[in-house]
A = this chain, B = another copy of it.
């Protein structure tokens, strides 16, 4: 039974595995200080179009989020997130474990707005309340939507004018940057945020997120902080080799595009049949609203998850495509729709 449950069901893109096999018995320095990690960083910097950023490879997304937030905030600082944000809902309190409150804003299609941020800042007016110091956004969001350049610029400007750091969780940035609506580049993002990451796990790697620190003031001692949070892999070169393969050319973006194209086909099939969506279908996560009968029928042939009950006879469900999703499985799903 084919699974549209998520984008981390398969191993690695074949070119990645190939590289890992090729270099397997090479001796490399530990802890990410190896030639492959170095090369991967060079490649990524070239894609970003900036040399002055610091790049670190971190095994997982939750780990990256807690590491970034705890490294750049003082104890009394909080981070602002959409109420749907991964750090707020799906990390078992990993951020709070480092001592920081997550203050939430009601999301608009998974996104936050300048008005929402401003309201939080106005409300937190004295020392009896936490002090907002960072804004966390994700692109694509938890609901598969994307920020436009204008939206990100607006948030970025507000943050810079109001003493807030801007952190972009890019676990699914490949899908964001290659979707039809997108008008952002990696270069834009690096210029608009203080820190972001380029997700490997959900776009063809076995594991690993490439954290990019753009703001000079945040760079100091970061390797200490990685180790301090248990996030420094002895065999860091395992991540280095993977990002080397992903960014040597434009493989990373092709994989994101592949997922988006197949998702679009599925989305159109649902739309053609008159189904509406819980949020606009923009990238590799789709949230069509289906009747219970339809859900039951599709469940016999495909795996997917229930996102939210809409009413007694309908629910929003989630279909996810990935770099590894095949044309055949998508066609089979479309036939069934």
For the complex formed, measure the closest distance between the CB of A301 and the CB atoms of chain B, giving whole angstroms.
14
**Number of contacting residues on A, CB 8 A?**
75
For residue A17, which residues in chain B have a CB less than 8 angstroms away from its CB? 20-21, 24
Listed stretches A25-33, A135-143, A289-297; interface member: A25-33
Do A97 and B94 contact each other (CB < 8 Å), given the known contacts A9-B28, A25-B324? no
Contact A228 B60 (CB under 8 A): no
Majority secondary structure, A binding face:
loop
Which residues 192-231 of A have a CB within 8 angstroms of B?
201-202, 206-207, 221, 223-231
Residue picked from A227, A228, A237, most chain B C-beta under 10 Å: A228
For the complex formed, measure the closest distance between the CB of A217 and the CB atoms of chain B, giving whole angstroms.
12
Contact B11 A25 (CB under 8 A): yes
Residue picked from A76, A221, A229, most chain B C-beta under 10 Å: A76
For the complex formed, measure the closest distance between the CB of A259 and the CB atoms of chain B, giving whole angstroms.
15
For residue A229, which residues in chain B have a CB less than 8 angstroms away from its CB? 75, 94, 97, 230
A contact residues vs B (CB 8 Å cutoff): 2-3, 5-6, 8-12, 14, 17, 20-21, 23-31, 59-63, 65-67, 70-71, 74-76, 78, 89-94, 96-102, 127-131, 201-202, 206-207, 221, 223-235, 237-238, 324
